Amino acid sequence: MRFDGRKSDETRQIKMTRGFTKHAQGSVLIEMGDTKVLCTAMVEEKVPMFLKGSGKGWVTAEYAMLPSSTQTRKNRDIAKLRLDGRSTEIQRLIGRSLRSVMNLEALGERTVWIDCDVIQADGGTRCASITGAFVALVDALNAVDKLTPFETYPLQGMVSAVSVGIHEEGAILDLNYVEDSSCMVDMNVIMNHKGEYIELQGTGEERPFTAKELTALLALGEKGNMDLQNFVKETLGSDLGRIEF
């Protein structure tokens, strides 16, 4: 059993507060245990240069941690005049993951700006960001849809993400900060509603992992994503209605 009493295949307590703020069309505070990320989606009626005139839209993501979100204060990027390397990596992942379930032609020449701002970090912020941002994206697209209905609804499925890792006592699901720090291998599994992989990122910086361990990690990742997607389905209820599963 784990330090916080969870079983190895159990996620932390999940909570999602939709409409957490009022200006963004989609605004969700997602909490996975003590990890809290504000995920927002704002729709802008224009596209980046490379898509002008293409009829296609874009989804882009930014990720940042508030200075007070970590145990030791984290300097703001602007103080160093450079975007944090880890944040760059994460926001590119969030963007790719969300675009994977989008029909960008159906979106039309619009940009959806996803912002994932970590209010409190306790492990798994990038995965929480993806899952929370998906819900914000649904809310934002529905807000647009209400005003000017989409011919084809631009969302084609669900996406969620969860971390898994190999600990001294074996593979575990949804690592908190303490577990993450002591893990030898960790992996982020991003899946759609069919249990297919959107993205897989496994890192064995501490020690490599075997094919057998990979199998165990993937099984946990699938379990976790299904739990998350069930939670998302309950949270969104009929608001998921326009996706054609």
Quick one: 89 or 105, whose CB is closer to its own copies? 89
Among 177, 156, 183, CA closest to 242: 156
Stretches 2-10, 52-60, 91-99, 126-134: which one binds its own copies (CB under 8 A)?
A: 91-99
Among 51, 66, 143, 243, binds its own copies (CB under 8 A): 66
3-state DSSP assignment of residue 64: strand
Judged by CB under 8 A, does residue 200 bind its own copies? yes
The interaxial angle of helices 85-99 and 125-147, nearest 10 deg, is 40
Q: Minimum CB separation from its own copies for residue 111, in Å?
A: 10
Give the one residue of 214, 226, 240, 243 binding its own copies; rule: CB under 8 A.
Answer: 214
d(CA 170, CA 7): 12
User: Which residue, among 186, 171, 180, has the nearest Cα to 219 in the 3D structure?
Assistant: 171
Per CB under 8 A, the list member of 2, 10, 17, 34 interacting with its own copies is 34
Residues 6+ apart with CB under 8 A from 41: 24, 25, 26, 27, 112, 113, 114, 133, 136, 137, 139, 140, 141
**Residue 208 is a binding residue for its own copies (CB under 8 A):** yes
Interface residue with its own copies, options 8, 17, 60, 100 (CB under 8 A): 100
Binding stretches for its own copies (CB under 8 A):
21-24, 27, 34, 36, 38, 40, 42, 44, 62, 64, 66-71, 73, 76-78, 81-83, 85-86, 88-89, 92, 96, 99-100, 113, 115, 117, 119-121, 187, 191-192, 194-211, 214, 218
